[in-house]
Structure formats: structure tokens, C-alpha cells
Amino acid sequence: MEIELKFQLPESKKKTVLQTLNKQKAQKIQLQAKYYDTADRLLAKNYVAIRLRQEGEHWVQTFKAASKNHLQRIEEDIYLGKCEQEPELDLSLYQHNRTVQTVLHEILGDTPAELQLQFQTNVQRSFHVFEFEGSQIEVCLDNGEIRTPTNQAKICEVEFELKQGAAQDLINFAKTWVDKYQLWLDVRSKAERGNLLAVGKCVSPATKAKMLNLESDISAEQAVKLIVENTLNQILPNAAAIADGVAEADHIHQARVGLRRLRSALKHFSNWSAQIDPTWENELAELFRALGQSRDRDAIQDSVIPLIKQSCDFEFPLSAEIDSNIAKLFSAAKTTQLFLSLFSFIYCGDESKLKLSKQVTKSLSKLFHKILMDATQFSTLTVKQQHRTRKRIKQLRYCIDFISGLYPEKEVQQFLNKLEPIQEYLGFYNDLFVAEQIFEKQAAEQSQFLFALGWVKAQQPHVAKKADKKLQHLSAKDIFWK
């Protein structure tokens, strides 16, 4: 298992980092690698990379695969030594490694696959092993390029690999470099970047949330760490695309979903661990708000505009390009420090032995009670309070997603069947108010927006009534987390 953090390095800081390493009498080596895959890139689609790399005079064949989070990867190196001729890729070298064999069989099946050269990398590496808090951490500055027959891309990154010791030390040591050299966390590997270059793309599809199945016998603190890890697995790839300035609308959307999931967990499960830092919320909220304007336009483009077009010939300008200030925020040192602090929380020792089931009951019941109180008076609430209800419903949904594996599937689904239509109505209700704000700004200059503005205002009370009606169906009897 390889434990490593990788950061993009601004070109302006490359000389300074090199000087820092040279003061430690860093070693240098030329690395020339060839990456292989099937014609339809089955390995890349399953987050696996296989390469042959010449390291100075020696050759190494390497298998890498995704692990439970973006700090860890499965890695198996086969040292081939000096070779008179350039060696050919040989998958039979992994025949005694069950993990590698299992992964390859799941992806490629029984038939031996023909792997073809997809792209190459040529890197000048400067590296040194630092001692930190009793751990040994190798810092590498990689400067070079990725090449395909028709294209190329620069590599300028710093890697921190744990050679011996604790993951916590690796994270804390990396944090000391982030502010100094303006590093930003990039969970995309050279293999991923190379595959994109080979197919003429600049970004992978947006990463969506993955199901989390908690074990009932773990502590509440262990559970919330797994929840944070699960949300980071969604957030970080999308955040890297945003920081790099190559994000598409769906990356913005999925980053917001991931941030909302994480904020929901930290808000309602905060008492599960004394090691949760309350300052994280403000920093996460800043990232969430920064993505809001771009996402709001996309949301009404999908939900409100098609309905208006059924009543009139209405053209709504497409979303503008993603604001460059968002990329700056996501590549800022303080954002990287936040992500590293969350990683550090995942790996810190457990202090609390609170029983998971008991804490779930307390946390969800407290939130659901607030929703039931809102339901009894929804029609009399202010619009701001009604939107607060929407947020609570959404937070409850995310919290249930995290812990649903602990309860009978049928009971969970019965509850969600009541919750989902409420969430949909309230979500659309919010979109109508977002649309109203946008249309008001446009109406003074373009008369077509006057009709659209009137349409959304007319819809608001009708949608509120439908949401209210659905809210009345909720009761304390629906609780499945007893």
C-alpha cells in the first residue's frame, strides 16, 4: 500500500522548492515511463494503471490501483534491474500477487488482454527523505512532461510519500510546505492526466457520491471518520478539476453536493467526536457559496426554463464560463490546508467509545423533530424560514444515506418515499426564488423577462401549498432509527 500526497506546484515556486531540496543534497534521477491499457481503456475506467519505467539505468514494472481514499493506493513494483534491451510488459510477473490478480480478473476477465502503449512520461525527479516526528517522508519534485503521438502536457508537481511511520505525520509535514510554496492538492494521478491527453480531453467526468455501508459494531467516532472520508472521495477529484480551471458544470454540481453532504454530517454528528474542528464549517461554507452562483444558473436552466418555454417563446442565456476566482479559491493554500486537516481527522486516534446506534438515534431525532415542528406551521413561516425547512430536509436525507445500512432496507425506503417528494417540491420552490432574482435583474433591459418573472411569482404559492400538503404526511411514527 502506497501512502502519498500529491500537489501541483506553481511554476513561479519551482526554483525555490528545488533550492530547498538541493540544500539537503537531494538525489536526482531521470524517469521515463510507458503506460499501457486495453484499446478501450478498461484499466483507466477502473482506476488502474500499469507502467514500465526506466529509473536511471534500471527498469521497474508497476501496478497501481485505487484504494479506500485518495491518500492510499495499492501498488506492486516488480524490479527488473538493468536490461540489455528494453523489456516488454509482462502481466505474468504478478501471478503470485493475489490482490493484483483479483483486480485484473475483475476488470479483464478470463481472456488475457492485449495491452497497448497509450502515453509516455519523461520526468526529472529531485528527491530527499526527511525525518519528521519519527517518520520518514520522501519529498519528490517532478518536472517534465506527458506525451502522446499528437500532444503533450507539462508536469510540475511535488509528491510526499510515507516511507516509514504514521500517515498523520505525512499529512502534518505536507502542511508545513503548503503555505510556503503555494501547493494545492491534486488527487489526479499522472496516469489519469495521461489517459485524458491520449483521448483528447482535459478533464475526467465529475465524481459522484458512493454508497457507504457502516458496520454496526464500530464506535460513533469511527463512523463519522468514515463518513468524512466518503465525502472527501467525492469532493477532492471535483475540487482538483475546479482548481485547475478545467471544471464543467457537473463538477461544480458534484462538488457542491459533496460539500453539502460533509457539512450535514459535521453539523448533525458533531458530538460523535471531540476532534471535529468547529472552524471547518465556516471554511466549507465559503467554498459552497463560491460555487453557488454558477450552480444556480444551471439549476434554473434545467428545472424552470423548460416549463416557461411551454407557455412562451423564451430564450435564457446559457451559463457563463466558470468564474476564474473560483479556481483561485480552490487552489489557494487555505483550501488545501482545510482538506489536509480533514484527512488528518480521518487518521487521528479514536478517543471516544460512544455507541453508534445510540448517537444515530439522538442526532436524527433532534433534526427530525425540528422538521416536524416546521411542518405544523409551514404555511405561516416566512420564505426564509421555509427555505430553512428545505435545508433541514436535505440534511436529513444525506444523514440517512450515511447510516441507512444499519437498518432494514424496507423501513428506510418507506421513510424516504415520504421524504423525496417533499425535497423535490421544496427544491423547485427554491429554484423559483433564485429565478425570480435573476429575472428581475434582466427585466429592466429585456422585456421577455417580464413574462418569465410573472410566471415564477405565480408558481411560488402553488408549489408552497403542494410542499405543505406533503409535509403534513410526516409524523413521529415514521421514525425507523429507534
Verify that 293 and 343 share a domain, yes or no.
yes
Verify that 262 and 137 share a domain, yes or no.
no
What would the mean pLDDT of 236-255 be, rounded to a whole number?
95
pLDDT at 333: 97
Give tens-digit pLDDT for 456-479.
999 999 999 999 999 999 999 999
Verify that 282 and 410 share a domain, yes or no.
yes
What would the mean pLDDT of 227-240 be, rounded to a whole number?
98
pLDDT band, very low/low/confident/very high, at 324 (cuts 50, 70, 90): confident
pLDDT at 237: 98
Per the domain annotation, does 270 fall within a domain?
A: yes
Sequence-separated (6 or more) residues with CB below 8 Å from residue 113 = 38, 42
The three-state secondary structure class of 145 is strand
pLDDT band, very low/low/confident/very high, at 323 (cuts 50, 70, 90): confident
Per the domain annotation, does 34 fall within a domain?
A: yes
pLDDT at 321: 62
Res 75 pLDDT > 60: yes
Res 319 pLDDT > 80: no
Give tens-digit pLDDT for 402-446.
999 999 999 999 999 999 999 999 999 999 999 999 899 888 878
Residue of higher predicted confidence among 26 and 114: 26
Of the residues 151, 180, 202, the one at which a domain ends: 202
Per the domain annotation, does 223 fall within a domain?
A: no
**Structural domain boundaries enclosing 246:** 232-478
Looking at the structure of the chain, the number of domains it has is 2
Residue of higher predicted confidence among 407 and 319: 407
**DSSP symbols for 44-110:** HHTTEEEEEEEETTEEEEEEEEE-SSTTEEEEEEEEEE--SSPPPP-GGGGTT-HHHHHHHHHHH-S
Verify that 59 and 158 share a domain, yes or no.
yes
Least confident of 72-81, 251-260, 350-359, 365-374: 350-359
pLDDT band, very low/low/confident/very high, at 449 (cuts 50, 70, 90): confident
Per the domain annotation, does 130 fall within a domain?
A: yes
pLDDT at 59: 97
Verify that 326 and 423 share a domain, yes or no.
yes
pLDDT at 320: 57
Per the domain annotation, does 57 fall within a domain?
A: yes
Verify that 306 and 416 share a domain, yes or no.
yes
Per the domain annotation, does 325 fall within a domain?
A: yes
The whole-model pTM stands at 0.94
Distance CA 201, CA 67 (A): 25
Verify that 135 and 274 share a domain, yes or no.
no
Per the domain annotation, does 222 fall within a domain?
A: no
pLDDT at 318: 60
Per the domain annotation, does 328 fall within a domain?
A: yes
Verify that 8 and 102 share a domain, yes or no.
yes
**What CATH number does the domain containing 298 carry?**
1.40.20.10
Distance CA 455, CA 403 (A): 40
Average pLDDT, the chain: 94
Q: What is the CA radius of gyration of the chain?
A: 25
